[in-house]
Structure formats: C-alpha cells, structure tokens
Amino acid sequence: MFTQSDAEFDRQHIWHPYTSMQDPLPCYPVVAAQGYLLQLADGRELVDGMSSWWAAIHGYNHPRLNQALQQQMTQMSHVMFGGFTHPSAVALCRKLVEMTPAALECVFLADSGSVSVEVSMKMALQYWLGRGETRQKFLTLKRGYHGDTFAAMSVCDPDNSMHSLWRGYLPEHVFAAAPECGFDDEWNAHDFDDFARLIKQHHQQLAAVILEPVVQGAGGMRFYHPRYLQRVREYCDRYGVLLIADEIATGFGRTGKLFACQHAGIEPDILCVGKALTGGTMTLAAALTTREVADTISRSPAGCFMHGPTFMGNPLACAVAVESLRMLQEGAWTAQVASIEHQLREQLLPLQAASQVKSVRVLGAIGVVETHQPVNMAALQQFFVSQGVWIRPFGRLIYLMPPYIIAPAALEKLIQAIGVALEHPSHFTS
Ligand code: PMP
C-alpha cells in the first residue's frame, strides 16, 4: 500500500541519492521484489538491470538469504563486537579469508563500502606510523570512485566529485591520468607513463596507491587493461608503497572473475569488499589485509587499529553474507556471468551502430553504452519504466549489471529497451 500522501511526504521530506530537495526527480514506489523483478505500487513489474547498484547478485527475496536472516534473528539480531565475538562473524571471516587472494588474512568488518574505504586508508596511514614514518598522501587514478565520505571522496575523480567544492577541507592527493588502454585493446606501454612518473616523484610521501582494479565504476564505467594493474603492483613493490584494491563494485564475480584483481594475477595489500557481500540484502563491507600490514599497524604508537563502530560485525548482516558467499562458492555464478556476458556481446555490442552511441563495452555481467550527449535523466527513466525495465543511467552512460540469475528473455528485454531509447532525441540533452 503506497498512497498519494506517501508520495507527497517523500517528495517534501526525504532526500534521495544526489537529488535536490527543491526540485526532486520523480521517484517510483517499489513495494516488493522477487528474483529479477521489481514490483511497483501500481502493480507494474520491472525487469531489474541494476542489481540495486551491483548488490543483488542472487536476485531479490532469495529463500536461502531470507532463511539465513530468520535463523540469525531467532538467536540475536545484534550484539556489540567490542569484547564479544559470535559464530556468524567467525564463519563470514573464515569464508572471506578463504575466497580472497591468499596473502589477505586479517578482516575488518565495516558498515558500508565508503566506510571500508575510510578504514583501508586509515590502515595505510597507521601502517606507516608503525614503521616510524609519517606518510599521508595517496596516489590514485582520475575517473575513479571510492565513496561519498570525506576520505573516500578525496580519492575520487576530482571533477566528478567536485573537489572544487571542498577545497581547503579535503586533503589533496596525487592523481594519475586515467588509463586509456581498454580491457580488450592491445596493451600500450605508454598508458602507464603518468602513473610511473608520479609514483617515482612522490613515493616517499605515499602511504598507498588506491584504485578500482580493471573496472572504474561510478566514475565512468571504464574497463582498463589488466597489464596496467600488473604494472601498478610492480611499481608499488619497487617503491615500497602499499596497494589498496577497492573491489566493492567488482568483487564477487561481476567481471567474470571472483575478484577483478585476478584478471591481472595480482594481490593487493589491502582489499575492500562490500555491495554484493550480503547478496544485496543489507549493508556490510570489509577491509582485508595481509598479516604484515596488520602486525605493523598493531605496532604503531596507538598499539591497535583506531576504529570500532557501533554496528561492527552485525550478526544479521554477517549471517546473510555467509549464505551469499556459500552460494557463490557452489559455483553457479561462473556459468551465469559467462552467459550474461555472451548475450551482452551478441545483443548489446551491435548498438554501437546507433548514431547517438560513442561506444559500447562489455565485461562479465556488465554492459555499458556510452552516448555522445548526456542523457535527459527524467525523460529516459520514465521511458524505461514505461517499457517495463529498471535501468538507471547517469551522465553519458546507460549501463546494465543485472542479477546473475536473470533469464535470457528478461536480459533481452533490457537490451531492447536501450535500443529503442537510443532512437528518441528527447532522451538526450543537446
Ligand atoms: N567503492 C566503489 C568502487 C563503489 O562502487 C562504491 C559504491 N558505488 C563505493 C566504494 C561506496 O560504497 P557505499 O555506497 O556502500 O558506501
């Protein structure tokens, strides 16, 4: 039940992501979700192309995830993590240590992706304090995105996250040119020149390099060459700088590998995961480190890692994450993601021919159409809903990252809707 008065209250009183309170874009009331379908209050069903921003990989309302939550709820929904531990946290961290790159052994549970990025950056700062040095700069890539909290924002693309708004408040870090060599392109060694120059110049101040491996998500949906990432690892080793991989979006199979770092065969010193960790049921993230990083932090003057939020290790979130990871370990995702990738290559890539399209790219269960003109968000969103699909474009990007369990006919419906949308000039700003 969702009344007109609910809609009016929402418009008057509730902030939505990146939305004006004075002139908000329309919001669609959703009242239920099942598998890859979202049900609106008026009864219409939409095929979900977004997985609720990379999270709902197994589909919505999954009986096994629900069961895990219910089971945990009968034991306890929450208990503080300071001085206590509990079976679901241990089970989750065991799985994380097992599934992530071998060198990562120590897990810090955080409340959200952005917070895990904050934690990873604080870990890097404390690591250097543990080594008796003060290093406070981070090297990162233009067009990156790491979250909306302040430390995370300071390493996001300066233009996309409007660093000019925060000048004087945000710490200033070092930005290498965004990689230009695409995932499927022939490797061009010069792509790495700017990064090489900057790490050489600044390494004595650098606490860490932080980047999204292989896929730059919210900063442009760009897929770069794994060789770039290999070189980053080599240069971090050469200059003694930590490497933080933000796999909050790419982790848990989305790019066709369990973790995007595996495309390059590298291991980071610190890894951030989130989003799909709970199968999209609730917020939880983690930062994992090597033993060496953890030990060095523990030797820093504080004697411990200085972080410990109220809801750390929330049992409900841990329990549902354990089940989500168990489902991933059973392995159906590999065939599902491969089949989504195949279908996207067959059906989405041909949209390259449309006059409005600058480029189309596909990697794993991600399909991106980059247009010449920015989209008219309100018009395009309304059009997609009228076609029975949920696709949330931004800037010059219309992209798909559906739940892994999506049926081929439903994925075709999403792709077709994009094809038709591209034919309407009113969907784009001039
Ligand atoms: N890092 C990356 C790569 C992300 O894509 C996101 C979310 N889009 C974040 C960090 C922030 O995560 P959250 O929104 O859960 O804070």
Closest alpha carbon to 140 in 110, 170, 179: 179
pLDDT category, 241, cuts 50, 70, 90?
very high
pLDDT in tens, 352-361: 999 999 999 9
Domain coordinates of the chain in residue numbers?
Answer: 4-61+331-427, 75-329
- Cα 115 to chain centroid distance, Å, stands at 13
Distance CA 409, CA 391 (A): 16
Closest alpha carbon to 255 in 350, 155, 327, 333: 333
Distance CA 46, CA 60 (A): 13
Distance CA 395, CA 145 (A): 15
Q: Is the pLDDT of residue 51 over 90?
A: yes
Dihedral through CA 57, CA 58, CA 64, CA 68, nearest 10? Answer: 0
Question: Nearest residue CA, atom 10 of ligand 1?
Answer: 146
CA 354 to ligand 1 center in whole angstroms: 31
pLDDT in tens, 175-191: 999 999 999 999 999 99
Q: Which atom of ligand 1 is nearest to the CA of 152?
A: 10
Question: Nearest residue CA, atom 7 of ligand 1?
Answer: 147
Q: Is the pLDDT of residue 270 over 90?
A: yes
How far CA 376 is from CA of 85, 247, 383, 393, in Å, comes to 49, 30, 11, 9
Q: Is the pLDDT of residue 1 over 90?
A: no
CA 51 to ligand 1 center in whole angstroms: 14
Give ligand 1 pocket residues (Cβ under 6 A). 53, 112-114, 117, 145-147, 212, 217-218, 246, 248-249, 274
pLDDT in tens, 130-167: 999 999 999 999 999 999 999 999 999 999 888 889 98
Give start and end residues of each alpha helix (H) in 100-157: 113-130, 150-154
Q: What is the reported pLDDT for 336? A: 98
Half-sphere exposure of 84 (CA within 13 A, CB side): 13
Closest alpha carbon to 260 in 244, 247, 276: 247
Token output for 363: 């990697």
Q: What is the reported pLDDT for 369? A: 98
pLDDT in tens, 80-124: 999 999 999 999 999 999 999 999 999 999 999 999 999 999 999
Using most ligand atoms within 8 A of CB, pick from 121, 141, 146 the residue to mutate for ligand 1.
146
Give the CA angle between residues 329, 330, 333 to the nearest 5°.
Answer: 85
Q: Which CATH number fits domain 75-329: 3.40.50.2000, 3.30.70.100, 3.40.640.10, 3.90.1010.20?
A: 3.40.640.10
Q: What is the reported pLDDT for 163? A: 85
Q: Which atom of ligand 1 is nearest to the CA of 249?
A: 5
Residues with active-site annotation: 18, 145, 246, 275
Q: What is the reported pLDDT for 430? A: 77
pTM of this prediction exceeds 0.95 = yes
Q: Which atom of ligand 1 is nearest to the CA of 212?
A: 3
Q: Decide if domain 4-61+331-427 falls under CATH 1.10.10.10.
A: no
pLDDT in tens, 15-50: 999 999 999 989 999 999 999 999 999 999 999 999
What is the rounded average pLDDT for all residues in the chain? 97
Q: Which atom of ligand 1 is nearest to the CA of 112?
A: 15
